[in-house]
Amino acid sequence: MGTGEQLVNVDLRYPAVSSLDELYSVLADRADELPPDSWVRGNGYDQNRLGAHPTAEMLDKVTGGRPALIEHVSHHMVVANTAAFERVGAVGRRGYDDIPGGRVFRDVEGRAEGLLQENAGDPIRLEAARVTEEESIAALALASNQAVSYGLTSLTEPGILVGGAAGLNSPVLNIYQRAIAERTLRPRMTVMPFHQVLHDLEINAEGMLTLDLGIRTGFGDDHLRLGPVKIISDGSLIGHSAAVHQCYSGEPENVGLMVVEPEELRELIPAYHRAGWSVATHAIGDRAIDYALDGVEAALETSSRRARHRIEHFAIATDAQVTRAASLGVIPVPQGVFISEFGDGIREAIGDDRARGTYRMRSLLDAGITVPGSTDSPVSDANPFVSMHDLVNRRTSSGREFAPAEKVTVAEALHAYTYGSAFAVNAERDLGTLEVGKLADFVALSDDILSVAPETIGTIVPKATVIGGEVVYGEVD
């Protein structure tokens, strides 16, 4: 849903937009096409590429009085204009309140500058998300078409049910069910509910948090099923809000922030575990990773049930954290494409020494962990071949090596994107390898990925994508 939503909105990603002037220009063009009261939405700007964050004052000048909300490439920050603040009841930008687990950037007079970090942006995000069911279906169609063109036959979406295109208007699983029934959405879907929608049941006396009727991880069929519950515990690395032990370079007071406090995380993960859920905790900074591992360890101490708990990103990870994750059976989910897309910014944010332990892969495999492939779309483009290329070659967009000791072979990267991704959602009995009796999902490629030069992997494209024996993209020779 998030990918489809981004495809609908103005594309602010680099190199589509390479300066603040260009950003304001394309938003002005979109505003001119819209009715006077419509939201102006854009996604994917990166202040590291533009030199600074956009401001509410400048957005006011180009949007003609319309409310505007633009999303940072990390999806952990937004910038809103004055009309957007007023849509949620604020009296101008001065009247927007601080929100726990987030940060409102303010000028010297106390007015919101426009930039909202983490939870601080939620009221405006939710207000801007008021779209129709038909608009949500159309967004899913765009995302589906992109996915099959990239050769993606199964997807794991890490976070639904709050926010997003459908969150305020219609039960989001109904949107997915309808899109699948109408064959608008073709890839098989594993979706993660955000943890805020799980709750106590009155008949439940064991401190468990779940959905009504006791629904938990694994509910559904081979087209749509529930995966882990998703917890966002800290911020983003390129946004300098991920929770770290050591300050960001040049920011002696900034160690990021925890969106969910450590004490709460230690209670939530065991509660979900006892209710039959696996848990996927977004933890980028090494401090957040420690707290997430503490939560998993507490869960395993209170229940003998085994589960494939995950840490999404597992970005700035120490050797000790790799060892601990392996011993707890935790599945780290790093993103190869972040190396080329954000690697230079990461090095500036945390320095070369810490960057050597960032978005590891070799260390995780050597520790005996089965690791999935991931792009974190729409934060990065969903093309799996670019992500596999980066896991193998590990070079930033400027051409610099990025943690070269973490390189893997082409076969290992391919294994992550096939068997590893199936294993991460307990689907390896049906998916992940080509075997008699498994689901007939496969792709025909333009080149043999195991034979081409490793530096050309990112140029491979699918000639055909087959799901359940049906050709859903291209043609089979």
Q: Are 176 and 189 in contact (CB under 8 A)?
A: yes
Output the average pLDDT for the chain. 94
Q: What is the pLDDT of residue 130?
A: 82
Residue that is last in its domain, among 103, 128, 153: 128
Which of 344, 336, 347, 343 has its CA nearest to residue 414? 336
pLDDT per residue as tens digits for the range 460-469: 999 999 999 9
Alpha-carbon distance values, 337 to 88, 286, 320, 375, 389 (Å): 36, 20, 25, 6, 8
pLDDT at position 351 over 60: yes
Residues 61 and 139 grouped into a single domain: no
**Residue 355 sits in the same domain as residue 284:** yes
Question: Residue 367 falls within a domain, yes or no?
Answer: yes
Burial of 33 from C-beta contacts in 10 A (0-12 / 13-18 / 19+): exposed
DSSP assigned state of 191:
E
What pLDDT is attached to residue 249? 96
pLDDT at 162: 43
Shared-domain flag, residues 266 and 345: yes
Residue (of 137, 220, 229, 230) closest to 176 by Cα position: 137
Using the predicted structure, report yes or no on whether residue 166 has a pLDDT greater than 90.
Answer: no
> Are 156 and 65 members of one domain?
no
What pLDDT is attached to residue 170? 53
Q: Is the pLDDT of residue 426 over 70?
A: yes
Q: Enter the pTM of the model.
A: 0.91
Separation of alpha carbons 287 and 427, rounded Å: 31
Overall domain count for the chain: 2
Domain boundary among 73, 101, 128: 128
| pLDDT range class, residue 205, cuts 50, 70, 90 | low
Full residue range of the structural domain in which residue 78 is found: 2-128
- Would you place residue 2 in the very low, low, confident or very high pLDDT band (cuts 50, 70, 90)? confident
Percent of the chain with pLDDT over 90: 84
Residue type, 201: L
